[in-house]
Structure 1
């Protein structure tokens, strides 16, 4: 049993795969055993299926909340993947031999406290951060002693570039034996949980090896592929785990599946220390190794980088490519090696292709090092419940033809189709809209809305549909939220709503729930919004909440959602806004812009007959704001504009108010600001009311040069938003007022800025506008 062949590897290492294949060809094993979740053995046939394409990942997850996961990424150059492919081609038995997911996930969740003796006191604490720091410092020290900038570069130069099988196998084994000796004693004290977990895993793997031997495989014809850290612990002189010990291990209910993966996700996999940060670069290395020409790697890297630059419109000559490769090799020679490492290639590319600036080639480097490749799994192979549900819905909603990599537009009419007899067909587009909104909430990029905002209820929705392998990955990941689209959506809505502390955010989720057709979530959201409204005091945020709930009520009839219980919230929010409005209008101009938008929204809702809100209360507040001199003048003017629009201000009252606001005794920024607010509400009202232009004319003529210069800022900003037709009408009124030719007035007022003598505005360059 001591003759079992253990081959230590680094996960996602092309050199480990290269030497492992050579070793397998030398041994010709009848059994290949691999570190990995043993309950994933059912997926081995799918992993090696040539119709499926790496990168892939084995995903195990608990089916109870909170969801815990284990993820094992597999690239085409992973030693585990190449071991499985070799075994499949050579009719050898292959299996994963690590703890099953139900035990492994349970061990990961055990959170025992560790007792550490210090100053004669027993101190209980969790994982010691100092231990983690010291362990990482050890790797940094290795890089420092090797005169390398970081540990990854040390590893690449000394291991990935080592082309001798026996040397590589012995080096990685001895290296990890000594690393284990240096860290294990500290680990046993500071991170006893991790230390114990490793011992359990290794004892379990030894038991799996023993079972394979007892099944008839000769020890010398067994190859065990494991992370090199565990290689020395799989010596069969050590005791394997017994049946009683296996039964005593804690378990939790889990599911396991195979999913497509991407190089982007592989590179950013948090905490996956055995991985690499440059998946596509290591794929290039793997291709060179399989062709027995590793020296070709620098040229492949640089040419891939230049190709991307050219595709983006940045040309680089062949001479620059050659110089980049030469410089990279020269940097490698300084470290006593023939083949450049990734950092050598980065430095050379920045110098020769970026003219000394890394920023010039940074994007191309990311694409060349990380890549955009995405794995693929044939439909029907190892599908999760949520995938099954997704494809059932595609068929039921007649969307199968849209599962294409070519983007396609789809316009939905969510009204009931009364021309058909079947209920499914009558509400087909409504169910499609709900389905797309659920996918959007779950971050599954299949359907993208063309119009993301709707101020009023509408029967039409426009979507762009496009399916990519990345969408499949997102779909599989959504299984962590629920086994169906419906359950995952309900869970996510519930989780977000629970953590909501902002009334506008909570109301936005109520609107999302309505669009998803989730009536129960709408009701849950209603209660949360109602609870948050008690302490809410921000006028703008409460207005957003009012608008969102109002939209839900508008959408309700179209989307077959009962919204009767939401009307009470709208009434409560409306009353609260009336109480807050006057105080909220004591603000600066930046805040005034937000409040103007809010007042406009409230006025729209009050004017809508769908919800019977007390118009008289709203009118009283507008009149009060319009009359106040101690609020932001723009907001007072805007309130006057609304009242003018509703014929709530008489001609006499309007004339008096303009005379009061636009007079020499009033600060220019106050008077002109009030006028800007008045004009912002309704351009046509300003155009049609000659009395307003007459008062404005009198006001401007009363200003001295300095006051006029200051007022000009407000007036130009006001009239710049007028359309040409409105400006033409103003010119006609001015011509009538001044007894001038209307055509001349029109020509003058419609001039663009570049036609006007710029010298007239030179004095504005030195003008102190303050907070205007």
Structure 2
């Protein structure tokens, strides 16, 4: 990590095997003749690798112009174990964070801080100052994000959706003392119900709330019905579906298992005027093409079958769509032999 900070790429991180531990690094090493020259050039920063990397990090912290650059540098310093450089980097980070008011910049900076905090816990590095800065950034993002999401065009909305996903994942990595969980839930509620927010962001906020258990399917259904109502512009409704059920977010499985939501999408799609259908088709194609082949095939079968009261996965009168009215204990018991095999226990008589 220190050599990489100095620009000497003797080793490069590589994808590794998944494991049950909290930390693992996989590297690909390869020495090239030109690295001799790069090592000699790095000597201007110090006489040892640690001293040179520390000096280089301090210089980069002073010259950094964006908040994301400094947070990335802080992460590198933690990875490299450069304890002497961290105070300088943290001062620069605090100064830049206090001056930067762009919510997009704050959202881009938070993930690196969250990773640094989690990694620092593994290394045993003191990250109290880092946690304080991260908590401040998280609060400012929660305050500034809803206004920043209004009135965006399609490209800006797509970029903001990525920022929202990154912030959502980063907040899960923060320690409890720095994680504004309830505040973030309120932000997602505000985005999901605000008409001036682009459809892709309203749909994504609804999906995040549903995945986190902050709302139930009985609450997600009305939000989808409202977004797909006849009065909604077809392009905005298609963008809502993209945000809610985008292929990378597992939306296909959600539609497979909740036929009420699938029925809402199907009803809206069949009601789109012919003149607008050609405009929304590319967005819908991008949404559904991201699903796995098996999911697409199942969705096609469900749509072709149509709403049948006695079909598989349909609710009996008075039940919840997608579920039976009562537990089928015989089918539920069918999983017990496999569980006993996995857990290595004997089946109860």
User: For 1:684-715, what per-residue CA distance to the aligned partner results, in whole angstroms no more than 9, with x for missing partners?
Assistant: 22332211111112112222211222222221
Distance (whole Å) between structure 1 residues aligned to residue 58 and residue 174 of structure 2: 32
Residue 678 of structure 1 pairs with residue 247 of structure 2: no
For structure 1, the 5+ residue unaligned runs are 1-436, 743-772
Residues 686 and 520 of structure 1: is their aligned pair in 2 closer, same or farther, counting only changes over 3 Å? farther
- Name the residue aligned to 1:432: none
Residue 518 of structure 1 pairs with residue 87 of structure 2: no
- Name the residue aligned to 1:462: 26
Q: Which of 568, 582, 600 is 2:165 aligned to?
A: 600
Distance (whole Å) between structure 1 residues aligned to residue 9 and residue 215 of structure 2: 52
Q: Which of 194, 212, 235 is 1:669 aligned to?
A: 235
- Name the residue aligned to 1:712: 281
Q: How does 1:311-460 map to 2 (within 5 A)?
A: 437-451=1-15, 459-460=23-24
Distance (whole Å) between structure 2 residues aligned to residue 641 and residue 448 of structure 1: 36
Mapped contact 1:645–1:682 kept (Cα < 8 A): no
- Name the residue aligned to 2:221: 655
Residues 729 and 522 of structure 1: is their aligned pair in 2 closer, same or farther, counting only changes over 3 Å? farther
Distance (whole Å) between structure 2 residues aligned to residue 441 and residue 654 of structure 1: 46
Distance (whole Å) between structure 2 residues aligned to residue 607 and residue 511 of structure 1: 17
Residues 556 and 650 of structure 1: is their aligned pair in 2 closer, same or farther, counting only changes over 3 Å? closer
- Name the residue aligned to 1:590: 155
SS in 1 for 2:84: helix
- Name the residue aligned to 2:43: 479
SS in 1 for 2:26: strand
User: For 1:701-749, what per-residue CA distance to the aligned partner results, in whole angstroms no more than 9, with x for missing partners?
Assistant: 222211222222221111011112322332343244355xx9xxxxxxx
1:544 positional shift: 2.4
Mapped contact 1:539–1:595 kept (Cα < 8 A): no
Residues 671 and 469 of structure 1: is their aligned pair in 2 closer, same or farther, counting only changes over 3 Å? closer
- Name the residue aligned to 2:340: none
For normalisation by structure 2, the TM-score amounts to 0.80
For structure 2, the 5+ residue unaligned runs are 312-349
Choose between structure 1 and 2: higher strand proportion: 1
- Name the residue aligned to 2:292: 723
Q: Which of 269, 273, 276 is 1:700 aligned to?
A: 269
Mapped contact 2:68–2:108 kept (Cα < 8 A): yes
Query: Over aligned residue pairs, what C-alpha RMSD do you find?
Result: 2.3
Mapped contact 2:114–2:174 kept (Cα < 8 A): no
Distance (whole Å) between structure 2 residues aligned to residue 451 and residue 502 of structure 1: 28
SS in 1 for 2:12: strand
Residue 548 of structure 1 pairs with residue 112 of structure 2: yes
Q: How does 1:19-418 map to 2 (within 5 A)?
A: none
Choose between structure 1 and 2: higher helix proportion: 2
Aligned residues: 301
Residues 486 and 655 of structure 1: is their aligned pair in 2 closer, same or farther, counting only changes over 3 Å? closer
SS in 2 for 1:520: coil
Residues 730 and 531 of structure 1: is their aligned pair in 2 closer, same or farther, counting only changes over 3 Å? same
User: For 1:358-394, what per-residue CA distance to the aligned partner results, in whole angstroms no more than 9, with x for missing partners?
Assistant: xxxxxxxxxxxxxxxxxxxxxxxxxxxxxxxxxxxxx
Residue 629 of structure 1 pairs with residue 195 of structure 2: yes
SS in 2 for 1:448: strand
User: For 1:599-629, what per-residue CA distance to the aligned partner results, in whole angstroms no more than 9, with x for missing partners?
Assistant: 1122223334734412111111100100011
1:469 positional shift: 3.0
- Name the residue aligned to 1:493: 57
User: For 1:466-490, what per-residue CA distance to the aligned partner results, in whole angstroms no more than 9, with x for missing partners?
Assistant: 2233211211222211111111111
- Name the residue aligned to 2:302: 733
